Structures are given as C-alpha cells and as structure tokens.
Structure 1
Amino acid sequence: MKDIPGLPISRQGINSIASPYSEQYVHTLSVEELELKEVLELQIQEGLRLSMQGFYLIGSALRQLKALKLHRNSHLRFDEYAKERFKISKRYQHYLINAVEVIDVFSNDKQYIALINGQIPEREFHCRQLLKLGNQPDIWKKAWYKSVMLASGETPTAKIVGEVVKQLQNITIEQNPFEVGDICLIAPGDNPALRGLQGCWAIIAAKNEFYCDIKTSLGLIRQISSSYLLHSAYTEEQQAQIQKIWTLVDKIPSNIKKEEIVIALLRVLGKRFLLSDIEADLLTTLLNSKC
C-alpha cells in the first residue's frame, strides 16, 4: 500500500479499509474524524453489551455517526455500514435514533423529570410506542406521565404504554379537538401554569389550532396546549352548574383571591359541579367581602 504523506501508518490502515463498494464512493476522513468515529463505535459496542438498557448510548452514537457521515471512508450508505459493522438492521437503526430524540426531550425538561420522579423510558420499545403519536413532544410527555401513574411509579410495561398511546391517538386526531364552551378536565402534566389543578374542570373560553384559553376556579389561564386537557363526562345539568360556579367565583375580588386559604378553597371548588351547604356559605362570604 502506498503511504500517504503526513498520515501515520496506523491511521492509513483504518482510513483505507476495504469496502464492498466501488472506490469512487470511498472518501478519506481526517484524523479528527477517525478518532471520533472510533470513540462512537466503542460507545455502540458498550451499548450492545448492555443489551436493552444501552439503547440510548447506541442511538446517540448512531445519530452522530450518520449526521457527520463518518461511514463515508468505508461505505456509501450509512444503513449498510451500521448493518455490517454492528449487525443492526436498517429499521432498528431508525428506532434507536428516534428514541434518542424522545429521551432528550424528557431529560431537558427539569420540571417534567421532577413530575415523573426521574422515571424516564428505560427501553427503546417505550419510545417506539410514544413515537406513534407523531412528532408531538407535549403528547409524548402526557402519554408517558399517564403510563407512569398507571404503573404506580414503577417502569410501565409495553402493554400499559401501548394502551395509553391508543387512547391519546383517538383524542389527538384533530390538532385541537375542543370548542369554545366545552367543559373539560385538566391534566397538568409538567405545565407550571396548571399546578394544583389536577382533575379540576376547565371551560374553553377561546381556542386556536393548538391552544386554548380556559376558565378555571383560579381564574382565566391563557394559551394552554390542548394536550393538557381531557374530554369530560359531565351531564348537561352538571355543566350548567359548573358554569354557575364559575360565574360566582369570577366575581370574588381579585385581592381576596390571592390569600392562600382562598386559593385552597378555590381549588376544591374547581372539582365540584354541586356545592355543599358549607361550600356555598363560604363562597357567599367571599362574594360579600370588601376589597
């Protein structure tokens, strides 16, 4: 083999690796690229050693190898390189790389990580199920949150995640399935604007393609993604009662609504469609309070 000036012999061997493809398709990598490729290949090998738990290591390395086209010194196509080098099929390469995106979305949201107690997906197939919901990170989070809750804080099974995804697929066929005047339930997820309103009712005050302005017992909250709202099963009579409660709550002086004890009461009322005598009396007292 003819030496390439300025390139160490050990690197020449790697850079001139035999390929099943025509030489016109094989390109030289720089020393830095070769070193990075070697590191990433070792990362993939370590991920393969860890079996299912190593999917993130493998996927992130594959993503970088593909993005930088570090396969080009030996293979024309990336999928052929990964298949020959690591025995990873083209389809599974796709699954692994996409799974990394899901994990990155979750990991970069500290509030969400706290909400799920750090319980991020541990298997590629968890991410594969979530990706059936399309490229919608908010919906991925909602689906995984519900899955973790159903699994009582343990790692959700594939069956649990699959069932949650199917439920949400039915809900998210339309980008925003709600209409003005609809009364729905709040699923706060990782949204700080909805903290403390789990299971409370919300009246749709305005909407666009993706977001809603909602009336809650704590007041009007604007620009909430429809992914944080669920269809309710309230009867027409119950919905009418909720509308009345909202009308009364809205009349409470704004300075009084800032009191902690009042906020606590309003959160309770946010789950009611019929008030008890004591709740009605307390609400009347608040309405009669002076600013």
Structure 2
Amino acid sequence: MTKPPSKRKKAISAVSSNSTRPVNPDNPASVTIDVSAVEIPELSDEEQSDRLLLERKVERAFFEAGKALMELRDRRLYRSTHKTFEEYCRDRFGHSRQQSNYLIAAAEVYENLTTIGCQNVVNEDLTTIGSQILPTNERQVRPLTKLEPQQQQEVWQQAVEQAGGKVPTGRIVKDVVQRIMERTQVPNTYQIGEVCQILVKDNLELRGKGGCWGIVNHVGEFSCTVTMWDGEYTVRIDYLKPLNYLDSECQQMQLLCDRIKRLRDSGKLEAPAEAVLKCLGELKRPYLTKFEEKLLSFIEQECLIAP
C-alpha cells in the first residue's frame, strides 16, 4: 500500500521591517510580513497623579480598615444587630475577632510611624512613593504591635535598611524584632507561688485583664504561667509586675485563688456571682474585708462548695 504524503505546515516568518523583499512564487515560505511597532504613550501629568493617588489608597487599605474597625468597636456601632463585636466581625466581614484586633493594632503602628515620619514634612499623606517608606499590609507590622512606640520606629527603620530601602517583608521585620528582644531580654526572676499584677500595655490578648492579680504556677525562660480569677494565662515577663507580698500574704492569696478556681470549675456560677469573682480578681491588697469574705462564703454555699 502506498503511504500517503504527509501534510506539513508551511512556516511563515514574521519580520519587523519596512523594506519589501521580492516574493518567490515557488517558495511561499519566503514571504515577509511587515509588522509596525506599537508606540506606548507616556502617562500624562493627570494620569500620573491618578496613579499615585490610587497607589496610596491600596497601600493604606489595611490602615483604613483598622481605623474603621476601631471606631466600630469603641462606639459599639454593631449593637443594633449583634451582641458582641466578635459575632459582628464574623457575620459582616467573614473574619475572626483576632483578625480584627490585628488590623486595629496594625493601624495604630502605622499611625505611629506616619506621625513620627511627618514631623518635619509638609505633606503628611506619605506612602512608599513619598519621602518615607511605610508598611503596605498588616503582616509587615504585626511583629511591631508588642513594642513601645519608640521601638517600633527603630525596628522599622532597621527593617527598611535591611530590605535595601524598600518595603520590608513581614519576615524581615520579625527577624529584626527577634534580635532586639534577645538583646534586651532580662532574666526571669519570678518564683512559683509569687503574686504579680498584669500589665496589658499593647497586648490585645490581655485586654480586660489590666490590674488583675495572678499567682505564678510555672516559670519559663522569658514568661510565666499565672492563675487568675478566670483561668490560666502564659504571659511574657514584661507584661507582669511583682506585688512584693510577704510569704504569708502570698499564701493567703493562694487560698483565695483556690477558692475562686473551685467556684469557677463548679459550672454553677450565675452572672452576678461571676461579677463578684471578677472584682476579687482585681484586689489591690492581700486580704478580704469582712463583707467580701461573707459575700464569697455565700456564693460557695449556694454552689455547695466548702471554703
């Protein structure tokens, strides 16, 4: 059987040229197609201005979101539809309370960096295309949220330098923070059974715990686990303040802590009783008044728990 001839596609070369070569009718592959170069016009002054404005909006998006969430939370503008800010964020924006807290904290850092950077600059609307390099997303500033404002500025400047004068990644910022923390870390001198006070500072995870006392039940290298009126928390030592109670006073507070824990674990507490325990968890002295003792004993009786 005779094999049919194969069909091959003819190659056509495209050459950008204004000259014309003669076409050989016996060789179609020699055909030359003229392609004109497309000239891309430069941006006009108005277009350049629009571009800069839009880029600023993109860069500041996380900052604007954080500021808006802060106002929604502080003014409780969610109260007409939701009981808690956490439920509101989940239903309205599809993210957790923690993510909202990250954005709020990031906005505060951004504002701090902008304020300092603008002290000697007329135009306060600075971005990465201005005279100061600023963050463009929340993850870049998340490691800075646990630092003091002055430290935030120093770390950010070092991170920008390490990134070669560009916006640093979150990893670069985190590495700079870690080096500074290791360099400035002080030994953990807390002891098990010691009574200390919680300092919230800028730690969102400790919100609502400021001024509460706790008893150290575990001592780590740079943190302690403390038992408070509503549970256990592992806290860095820079968020703790020693109350310098006597040993006998620490023992009294340990007994009080045990009584509160038994009540909490009973599962029989109603809201008024929980409010009382919260007040006891904020005591600024190592003893109960007679009225406080009677009130606590009454709650224990109601919950059928022996003091």
| TM-score bin (small chain) | 0.3 to 0.5
TM-score, normalised to structure 1's length?
Answer: 0.44
> Larger % of helix: which?
1
TM-score, normalised to structure 2's length?
Answer: 0.42
